[in-house]
Structure 1
């Protein structure tokens, strides 16, 4: 089944690329806007060999990695704090929901004023997305733990710390690890949004620059690179998840 799924995925990808190439070559689509795969590939190779790609790629990957790791860590710790204090949970619940529903691009200018137009503002924009999502997912997983496990620990005289260490955290571990996969995408969204607003270097900057000079091949090549790197990060997280759950 795994081999069949992988083969089908590859066939779909090859079919999509082939159809896109054919549509561009035969002028079925406007190549100024949609370009075509071979042209996008040449753009990537050219930028890679002349060295223009690597500073942008390194900056975006660095921002994404920091936002991803800090967002997961801070969100998980915040979920623990909220679970530990039912009073704090009830107080903060509506605020977290409202903040999570706010368009983060609207907060970007505020972060730029507070932290300056650079790395910090972009990372904070990323955290504004990843932290709340992580907190809500992990906190909900805490609340969904089988109540019978908690009753057993209380029956044997366990306190709230014992409940968390022996029941809540072990039962929620798969959800916490799975949150890593969600945060890969959220971190990329946050970084690209931040780079749209403020960056002078990065893949998000290349996308904006490509639109400004009507070089849509550059735009699409940047999107392809983002897709490739994001897929690599996702697969790395999947590997880490399998290792951790196997050891557990």
Structure 2
């Protein structure tokens, strides 16, 4: 709400248009800032602290939600597990760093909902499993902590890959955009690339500095909608819930 008020005030003072931007649309479009940008249509995996969604993208504003997390987002699960391990915030980068030192095969972790049809996901059960494991193990031993981080991270990544492969088969699309803060995870990038390359799928990411929240992605989405003739009123409506598939399509 504060950001909306500041934007409105600046627009009024400078006599320029103001446009309300959907935060996750901006993430979704961030790979368009790269030299090698995807062409429509494509699939998108939006994976962050607040969202985990698989979306069919036919054009800017032309979105169909195919699947999403029914509880915790993947990034939220990273943050909560990091807290259980006594690590800092945000949890994703720290868990990723410690996972590099661990053995992801040391402990068993479930791949939630991968044995069920459909594209929806769930990470709360994985979080609970990890909490129980942490309570059983001596996490003061660095190797134990590293192995737990590696196993948890691998379970999240495998779940995302399984669902993306299923979405590719379901839609017949051959390009996948991965966007949002968790897309900066280098293990996710490598394993997703290696897996999908084998079946002829092109994977697109934004550069690391454009994975987390940034002004460039907002500017790109804003430019697209400004060029489409869109304007917001001087009282921007801040929406805590704004389904992607309700946005105006840009022809």
TM-score w.r.t. the length of structure 1 is: 0.30
Q: Per residue, is there more helix in 1 or in 2? A: 1
Q: Per residue, is there more strand in 1 or in 2? A: 2
Which structure has the higher relative contact order (CA within 8 Å, separation 6+)? 2
Higher-Rg structure is 1
TM-score w.r.t. the length of structure 2 is: 0.30
